[in-house]
């Protein structure tokens, strides 16, 4: 039987790991996952917070850092630990990066969530992190806030690999894809730049299901668990229109890569639903799906590698039209989700710094 992860690769989709911690890297487990088909890593403040708070992986590194610099600030300590992890992970994935012609094998590091609404500060911080990590297969995550969009254009123009995050709507996608195209147009070496547009999936169902239950009609309840994939499929259709059509024609001529769509938040939150529904339902060319370890295991166990991302587009349109009819404004929902996402990452970063402060005192 074909491994579903290998099967998705043949269909043009990369599976990345949405998880990082020191022992994963130093134990050899990450190398094994890469041999088994995992071709990238994403991280965020919540992932680092759990890794540091729920393990002793960082005890020795933290002790060594404090011996060499007893007065180090908490953010400096976090950055030192995170950059060590990111560098080790990028080195493990470097062969994937080389073998893929620099289209895969990336490791993502999030810019500070405190800067999500500050364009100039985001640009300056991303430049600094890019120089600090100093790996060609690094991607730096920048949120698709209104202030993030011009930052993304500037950074792409400068040749920095960007993972655009916290996208929930077609409106968000339009802004991000065109920021990429404008950045590529300004880049002296467009063929060297890589970017993904991270479109969040399951959180849309989590929010709309709650609204649909509140409305409570048969028409509303029939839409539960169906909105997120429909929303994502229409974004993928737009991706193909943009990047295979006239809007990116000049970029293609100049050797630039398409900005792949990355499906984020694809672990299933509602236990009534299949634990691989957001993987099985969104497989297709020029995409990435980033999964936590438990979802990777579930997909390997009972997932199906079949091109699905552009199936049922008429049905997807109907689902979103019916959502409007029953009284749920998806645009308002997705704007709220982006704001909540920024806040959640900032809260996780607060918790992370608090955890490090406690560890420092031990």
Structure tokens at 257: 């890569």
> Is residue 331 within 8 Å of residue 173, measured between CB atoms?
no
The span from the CA of 19 to the CA of 46, in Å, is 10
**In terms of DSSP H, where are the helices of the chain?**
4-10, 22-26, 29-35, 45-53, 59-68, 74-99, 119-133, 148-157, 170-186, 202-215, 218-221, 227-244, 249-253, 277-280, 293-302, 313-325, 330-361
- Distance, C-alpha 279 to centroid of its chain: 14
Contact 318, 45 (CB under 8 A): no
Is-catalytic flag, 343? no
Catalytic residue among 32, 141, 246, 325: 141
Instruction: State the number of CA atoms in the 13 A half-sphere of 328 facing the CB.
Output: 29
SS3 117: coil
Between CA 347 and CA 146 the distance in angstroms is: 20
> Residue 104 — left, alpha, or beta (φ > 0 → left; ψ -120 to 50 → alpha)?
beta
Tell me the torsion sign for CA atoms 164, 206, 330, 228.
Answer: positive
Kindly list the catalytic residues.
141
């Amino acid at each position: 039987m074909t491994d579903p992860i290998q099967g998705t690769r043949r269909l043009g989709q990369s599976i990345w790991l949405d998880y990082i911690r020191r022992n994963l890297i130093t134990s050899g487990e990450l190398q094994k996952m890469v041999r088994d088909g995992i071709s990238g890593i994403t991280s965020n403040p919540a992932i680092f917070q759990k890794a540091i708070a729920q393990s002793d992986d960082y005890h020795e590194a933290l002790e060594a850092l404090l011996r060499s610099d007893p007065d180090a600030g908490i953010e400096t300590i976090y950055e030192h630990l995170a950059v060590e992890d990111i560098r080790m992970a990028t080195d493990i994935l470097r062969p994937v990066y080389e073998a893929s012609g620099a289209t895969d094998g990336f490791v993502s590091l999030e810019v500070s969530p405190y800067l999500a609404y500050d364009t100039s500060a985001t640009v300056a911080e991303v430049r600094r992190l890019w120089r600090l990590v100093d790996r060609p297969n690094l991607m730096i995550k920048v949120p698709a806030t209104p202030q993030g969009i011009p930052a993304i254009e500037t950074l792409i123009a400068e040749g920095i690999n960007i993972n655009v995050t916290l996208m929930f709507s077609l409106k968000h996608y339009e802004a991000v894809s065109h920021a990429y195209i404008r950045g590529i147009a300004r880049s002296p070496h467009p063929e060297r730049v890589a970017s993904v547009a991270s479109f969040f999936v399951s959180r849309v169902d989590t929010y709309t299901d709650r609204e649909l239950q509140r409305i409570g009609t048969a028409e509303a309840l029939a839409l539960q668990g169906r909105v997120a994939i429909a929303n994502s499929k229409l974004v993928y259709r737009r991706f193909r229109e943009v990047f295979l059509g006239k809007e990116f024609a000049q970029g293609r001529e100049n050797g630039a890569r398409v900005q792949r769509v990355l499906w984020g938040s694809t672990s299933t939150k509602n236990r009534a639903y299949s634990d691989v529904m957001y993987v099985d339902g969104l497989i297709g060319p020029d995409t990435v799906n980033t999964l936590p370890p438990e979802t990777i295991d579930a997909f390997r166990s009972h997932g199906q590698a079949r091109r699905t991302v552009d199936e049922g587009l008429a049905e997807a349109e109907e689902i979103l039209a019916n959502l409007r009819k029953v009284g749920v404004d998806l645009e308002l929902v997705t704007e709220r989700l982006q704001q909540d996402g920024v806040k959640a990452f900032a809260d996780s970063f607060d918790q992370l710094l608090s955890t490090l402060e406690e560890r420092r005192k031990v």
